[in-house]
Amino acid sequence: MGAGRARTEDYWQADLPVEERVRDLLARMTVEEKARQLDMYMGSEIADKMQSQTVIAEDGAFDPEKARAVWGDAGVGSVHDLYPRSAETSNAIQSWLRDNTRLGIPALFIEEGLHGVSAPGHTIFPQQIALASTWNPDIARATAAAIAAEMRSVNIHLSLSPVLDLVRDVRWGRTEETFGEDPHLISRMAVAYVQGMQGESLASDHSVVAEPKHFAGHGMPEAGLNAGPVQVGGREYRSMLLAGFRAAFVEGKAKGAMAAYHETDGVPSVADPALLTGILRDEWGFDGIVITDLGAIRQLETEHFVAGNAADAICQAVSAGVDMQFYDYPTTSSRGGRAVRARWSPSHGNS
C-alpha cells in the first residue's frame, strides 16, 4: 500500500451518509481489526526520541519502522502520551496508518488537558478548584475553549477532562483537580467546560472531545485513599455524585467518558453495566466513547478480584459498556509478533 493509493470502498466516500460508511467498514473488519480499535498505545512505542516517558522530544519524530513492528497492518484505536510538538508529527502518523494498514483507519489522539495541555509549549491555566472559586461558568467555558484550541492545533482529538468528582474528604489527594463539593456548582461548571471544549461542532479546527471523569463517585473513597471503595446509598449517589455527570452528558452533550477505578457497593465501576449502559447510555442518551482509567480493566483481576484472568476482565468491561482500554494488558502485532509489555505501574500515576 504505497502513498497515494486510491481508496474506492464505500467507507472512504465522504459524500455517502455516515451510517452507510460505518456499516460498510464494519462488514470488512476482521475480529483482530475490531479489537485493535479498542486499544490504546503509548507514544513512546512509535516515536524515535522521547523527552520523558510521556512526551516526545522537541526534536523527536514519528518512527515508521517502530510503528510497523508494533502495529503491523491491523491498525490502532488511539495514541496517548505522545503530545506531538506540531501537527506534522500527528499528520505523519495518520498518513502512515492510511497507507500502511489494510483498512487505513486513522488513530484517535488522546491527551491530558485538565488545566492546559500537559506538555511543554502550552498555556497553563488555574486548576479546576480555582475555577470553581470564581463561581463563574463563563470563565470555565473560555478556559476549556482555549485548551481545546491548543490541543487541536497539534491534532489532538480528545481531552481527558474535566474532572467532575464530588469531594467530601480533603484527604483525597486529587481534590485540587475538581470543582469541589457542591453538586450544583459542579453541574454548572461541567456544562460550561464541556461546551467550551467541544464548541459548536467537533468538525471545527479548534474543538476537541471532552471526557468527564471519573465516572462515577471516585472523589469519595474510604479514608480519602485514591481508588478506594465508595460506600454511598442510592439516593445520595443519584442526587449528589451523579449530578455533575448528568449535566455534562445530558445538557453539555459530552462525547467522552472515563470509567473509574473504584467500586461502589462492591461493584467495580469499569464493570458495572447498570452505570455504563443503564444510566449513561439508556437513560441519559450518551452516544460517545467510554475509556477506562489507566489499568482499570486489569484491576478487575488484580485489585477487585472479580475476574479470573485477562479474558474474563476484558469481557466484563466490554460487556458493561467500555469502548477502549488504557494500558491494561500486553498487545502483540499481527505482523511482527513482538509483544508490547504491560505499560502501567503505580509510579506512572493515573488519569
Q: How confident is the model at residue 345 (pLDDT cuts 50, 70, 90)?
A: very low
pLDDT at 341: 39
- Name the β-bridge partners of 209: 158
DSSP states along 140-206: HHHHHHHHHHHHHHTT--EE---B----S-TTSTTGGGS--S-HHHHHHHHHHHHHHHH-S-TTSSS
Q: Are residues 291 and 194 in the same domain?
A: yes
Q: Are residues 271 and 327 in the same domain?
A: yes
Within a domain: 1: no
Phi-psi sector, 345: left (phi>0), alpha (psi -120 to 50), beta: beta
Q: In whole angstroms, give the CA distance from residue 351 to residue 163.
A: 10
Within a domain: 2: no
Q: Which three cell numbers stand for residue 335?
A: 505482523
Per residue in 235-254, pLDDT (tens digit) is: 999 999 999 999 999 999 99
Per residue in 253-294, pLDDT (tens digit) is: 999 999 999 999 999 999 999 999 999 999 999 999 999 999
> Region 60-74: what's the mean pLDDT?
94
- Name the β-bridge partners of 111: 159
- Name the β-bridge partners of 331: 340
What stretches of the chain show up as alpha helix (H) in DSSP? Answer: 18-28, 31-36, 64-71, 87-100, 128-134, 137-153, 183-198, 234-236, 243-246, 273, 296-302, 310-320
Q: Are residues 105 and 132 in the same domain?
A: no
Q: Are residues 95 and 214 in the same domain?
A: no
Query: What is the residue whose three cell numbers read 483498512?
Result: 103
Residue 313 half-sphere exposure, CB side, CA atoms within 13 Å? 22
Q: Are residues 141 and 118 in the same domain?
A: yes
Within a domain: 104: yes
Q: In whole angstroms, give the CA distance from residue 118 to residue 82.
A: 10
pTM recorded for the entire structure: 0.90
Q: 13 is in which domain, residue-wise?
A: 8-110
Q: Are residues 175 and 309 in the same domain?
A: yes
Q: In whole angstroms, give the CA distance from residue 126 to residue 335.
A: 45
